[in-house]
Amino acid sequence: MTSRRSLLNASLLTLLPHFGVQAQTQTTVVLGTATPGGGFPLYGAAFAQTIEEVDATLHIQTRNTKGSTENIPMIEAGQLDLALVTGEPFYEAINGIGRTPAKLTILTAMYSSPGMFVTRADSPARHIEDLLGKPVAFGAKGSGLVILARYVLDGLGYDMDKDFKPVLLDRAGDGPAMVADGRVAALWGGGSGWPGFTAVASSPTGARFIVPDAAQIQRIVAKHTLLKPMSIPARSYPGQEAALPSVGAWSFVIARPSLPDDVAYRLARALHKGEAALGKRWPQAIESTASYTVAAAPRTDLIHPGVQRYLREIGLLR
């Protein structure tokens, strides 16, 4: 009996260091998302689950923030390791528009975000001009979607603050109820599978989507070259039978430049291996791929060096 107990104790002593090493080598990465009820927190949850499923040495701790405009300074201050941002504030930050240029790096492309309005299906509004002078929910305070709206409307010669009655939300998830009960004439948002649009389209009243027409799209992209023609595929939302052309930009997962190269490399590798799983968890994330990252990045040098190393290994960068 003593011999068996000694053997068991010896086995446990052999195993304990093994478990200790695993615990010590797990890397925690803090990811900033946005306010509850929008697409960013849902994307962040799918992102975290996928990475941890592929690489158990990585732990993604998600944190709700006010959105893109708060995430960028938090990344600069080193308060976050990763953050979700829409393309417009990212573009402004790296180019020093209204601020000093920021040093930001891209971990991965998230998805393209064509912007559009949604109203109740029984609304008389059918064109952007029909919303002039009306209360419109443009998104949560600090959301990059608000900045996208300003660019789109400016491209058409409109001022969001003067030509509409803008409503900025404390929580992104508050918008659909305001459309349903008539407090606002429309809700602005972007991309396929966006929760606010899904909620309105799934409501008893149904939804009508309002996008720029072909001539308006040309005016917008001619004035603001950061925006590109994009389209929402048919059946992205309940009752939406035709594709919806609009304009928008790519959203990104950005990383603090000081994030160690080996950590960024491991994250990129896990994302690449988990691309299919991430797309199943969150429909918009089917565009969160290594190949889209290379195509969507404004410049290769903006991609984190650790990610660049992985992209070279798989043949997507030279």
Mean pLDDT of 94-109: 96
Mean pLDDT of 297-311: 97
- Reported as a single tens digit per residue, the pLDDT across 204-230 is 999 999 999 999 999 999 999 999 999
Mean pLDDT of 30-56: 95
Q: Is the model's pLDDT at 52 over the cut of 80? A: yes
- Reported as a single tens digit per residue, the pLDDT across 253-270 is 999 999 999 999 999 999
Cα separation, 42 vs 45, in Å, equals: 5
- pLDDT bin (cut points 50, 70, 90) of residue 4 is low
Cα separation, 109 vs 114, in Å, equals: 15
Residue-level pLDDT at 25: 83
Q: Is 118 left (phi over 0), alpha (psi -120 to 50) or beta?
A: beta
Instruction: Determine how β-strand 135-140 pairs with β-strand 165-169.
Output: parallel
Task: Tell me the pLDDT of the chain averaged across its residues.
Answer: 92
Q: Is the model's pLDDT at 15 over the cut of 50? A: no
Q: Is the model's pLDDT at 10 over the cut of 90? A: no
Q: Which has more confidence, 38 or 298? A: 298
The two structure tokens encoding residue 56? 């158990």
Cα separation, 251 vs 112, in Å, equals: 6
Mean pLDDT of 118-138: 98
Mean pLDDT of 66-73: 95
For the chain, strand residue ranges (E) read 27-32, 58-63, 82-85, 105-120, 135-140, 165-169, 186-190, 207-210, 228-232, 244-255
Q: Is the model's pLDDT at 51 over the cut of 50? A: yes
- Reported as a single tens digit per residue, the pLDDT across 164-174 is 999 999 988 99
Mean pLDDT of 173-201: 94
Residue-level pLDDT at 5: 52
Instruction: Determine how β-strand 135-140 pairs with β-strand 186-190.
Output: parallel
Residue-level pLDDT at 143: 86
Share of the chain above pLDDT 90, in %: 84
Residue-level pLDDT at 193: 84
Cα separation, 144 vs 159, in Å, equals: 17
Q: How far is CA 209 from CA 72, 118, 137, 249, in A?
A: 30, 4, 14, 19
pTM for the predicted model, two decimal places: 0.80
Q: Which residue from 198, 285, 239, 230 is spatially nearest to 115, judged by alpha carbons? A: 230
Cα separation, 81 vs 148, in Å, equals: 25
Cα separation, 39 vs 3, in Å, equals: 60
Q: Can you list the domains of the chain with their CATH numbers? A: 25-112+250-313 (3.40.190.10), 113-249 (3.40.190.10)
Mean pLDDT of 56-79: 97
Q: Which has more confidence, 138 or 5? A: 138
- pLDDT bin (cut points 50, 70, 90) of residue 12 is very low
Q: Which has more confidence, 176 or 2? A: 176
Q: Is the model's pLDDT at 37 over the cut of 90? A: no
Q: Is the model's pLDDT at 275 over the cut of 80? A: yes
Residue-level pLDDT at 270: 98
What is the separation of C-alpha 256 from the centre of its chain, rounded to a whole number of angstroms?
16
Q: Is the model's pLDDT at 286 over the cut of 70? A: yes
